[in-house]
């Protein structure tokens, strides 16, 4: 100190003034730097002078008293607070753990500076306690399923105290809610049992439906089979009747021809005798006249009718019902439709196909019956005589 003083004295008055000027310049530069505060566009700064709050510094260049001023920065953008994982006991005594994210924004920097020490820490602690309280008021299933309801309740609980701090809670999002391991195992067992129950129900419903479909199919099959048997019996009886009439017609025709042939032989034997007078039965003469017209094509009028052909007359056809076969089959079809009203379109298509097949079978039976008739019953008597 003495050495510095002696040096200053040695420099003289001029040197002292120079050093003082330099020191003064340095003080002025520092004061200017301290008096100028630059605030970013997304910030506001609280200004205190000698410990007294003065104002909020807006974004841009601000002048403050140097050396006696202090500023506190507040970010006016939306900020994210991570709420640590919390443990809670639900209303049905199930332990769960949960964590969340809170999005906040400083709306009034003055309140955030004067009303609360550290607004971020305060909001985080308040969110933790609120999260535990909300989970404790709910049952386990609700905590797992009603995530939006939990978020809304937490935000509502945070709104009132944070408003006093100049903070707005914009959103709360619960990220995870996990029950304890024992509860998770119980839930897995419950889920597995529920799935097995549903599988058994579906299997039982499938078996029931299968049984119903099988019974319905058997019912339709029995109805169709019964209708087929009914039609078959009708056609078989129709064929038997036709065959009986044909045999009767054939026997009648063969009987007349046998009488005529025998009569011709008798006439030949009589003609060889010496007698010139002959007595013939009227029936024989009538048949001979009818038969002779067929043999010679003569136009001689003969009392009585010619030999009848083997074609069915109207009375026989009506008796046999040859003209009513289609009507009978139609009635059968109508009865079948009344019996199977509940059948599906596929069963109806099968029924119609089988009905058409039965009709064709009936026609084939008639054709076969015609083919089985004796050839002499179908040939013209005149043609047979010429042969």
Indicate if 66 and 87 belong to the same structural domain: no
Is residue 44 a part of any domain in this protein?
Answer: yes
Domain range spanning residue 139? 79-179
Closest CA to 263 of 286, 293, 240: 286
State residue 228's pLDDT score: 79
Question: Is residue 5 one of the residues assigned to a domain?
Answer: no
306 in the same domain as 321: yes
Cα separation of 368 and 376, whole Å?
A: 17
Co-location of 296 and 329 in the same domain: yes
In this structure, the answer to whether residues 123 and 244 fall within a common structural domain is no
Q: Domain ends where: 120, 154, 179?
A: 179
Q: What is the helix (H) or strand (E) element at residue 252, kind and residue range?
A: helix 181-271
pLDDT for 113-137, tens place per residue? 999 989 999 999 999 999 999 999 9
pTM greater than 0.75: no
Mean pLDDT, the chain, rounded, equals: 75
Domain boundary among 10, 44, 75: 75
Domain boundary among the residues 45, 75, 105 is at 75
Q: Are residue 123 and residue 242 in the same domain, yes or no?
A: no
Instruction: Please list the rounded mean pLDDT of every run of 10 residues in the chain (387 residues).
Output: 52 69 84 89 92 91 90 94 92 92 94 92 94 93 90 93 93 91 83 87 87 82 80 74 68 61 65 61 56 48 45 58 61 61 59 56 53 45 37
Q: Is residue 24 part of a domain?
A: no
What is the dihedral sign for C-alpha 295, 374, 357, 332?
Answer: positive
Domain count, the chain: 3
84 and 41 fall within a common domain: no
pLDDT, tens digit, 9 for 90 and up, residues 172-222: 999 999 998 888 888 788 888 888 888 899 888 888 888 888 888 888 788
Q: Determine, yes or no, domain membership for 160.
A: yes
> Which residue from 163, 129, 135 is spatially nearest to 151, judged by alpha carbons?
135
In a domain, 292, yes or no: yes
């Amino acid at each position: 100190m003495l050495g510095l003083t002696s040096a200053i004295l040695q420099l003289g008055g001029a040197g002292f003034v120079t050093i003082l000027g330099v020191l003064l310049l340095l003080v002025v530069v520092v004061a200017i730097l301290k008096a100028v505060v630059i605030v970013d566009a997304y910030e506001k700064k609280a200004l205190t002078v000698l410990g007294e709050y003065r104002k909020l510094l807006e974004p841009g260049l601000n002048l403050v008293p140097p050396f006696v001023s202090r500023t506190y920065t507040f970010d006016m953008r939306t900020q994210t607070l991570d709420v640590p994982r919390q443990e809670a006991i639900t209303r049905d005594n199930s332990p769960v753990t949960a964590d969340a994210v809170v999005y906040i924004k400083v709306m009034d920097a003055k309140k955030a500076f004067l009303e609360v020490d550290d607004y971020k820490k305060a909001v985080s602690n308040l969110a933790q306690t609120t999260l535990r309280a909300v989970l404790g008021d709910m049952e386990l299933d609700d905590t797992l399923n009603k995530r939006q309801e939990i978020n809304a309740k937490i935000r509502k609980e945070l709104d009132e105290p944070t408003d006093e701090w100049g903070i707005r809670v914009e959103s709360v999002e619960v990220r995870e809610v996990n029950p304890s391991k024992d509860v998770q195992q119980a839930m897995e067992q419950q889920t597995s049992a529920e799935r097995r129950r549903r599988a058994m129900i579906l299997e039982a419903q499938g078996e029931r439906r299968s049984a119903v479909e099988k019974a319905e199919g058997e019912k339709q099959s029995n109805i169709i089979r019964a209708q087929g048997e009914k039609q078959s019996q009708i056609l078989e009886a129709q064929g038997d009747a036709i065959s009986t009439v044909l045999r009767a017609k054939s026997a009648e025709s063969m009987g007349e021809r046998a009488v005529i042939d025998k009569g011709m032989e008798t006439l030949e034997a009589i003609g060889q005798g010496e007698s010139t007078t002959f007595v013939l039965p009227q029936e024989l003469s009538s048949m001979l006249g009818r038969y002779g017209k067929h043999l010679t094509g003569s136009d001689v009028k003969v009392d009585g009718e010619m030999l009848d052909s083997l074609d069915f007359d109207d009375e026989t056809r009506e008796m046999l019902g040859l003209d009513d076969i289609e009507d009978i089959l139609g009635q059968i079809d109508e009865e079948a439709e009344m019996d199977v009203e509940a059948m599906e379109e596929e069963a109806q298509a099968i029924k119609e196909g089988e009905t058409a097949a039965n009709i064709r079978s009936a026609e084939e039976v008639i054709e076969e019956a015609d083919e089985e008739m004796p050839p002499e019953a179908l040939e013209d008597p005149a043609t047979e005589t010429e042969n």
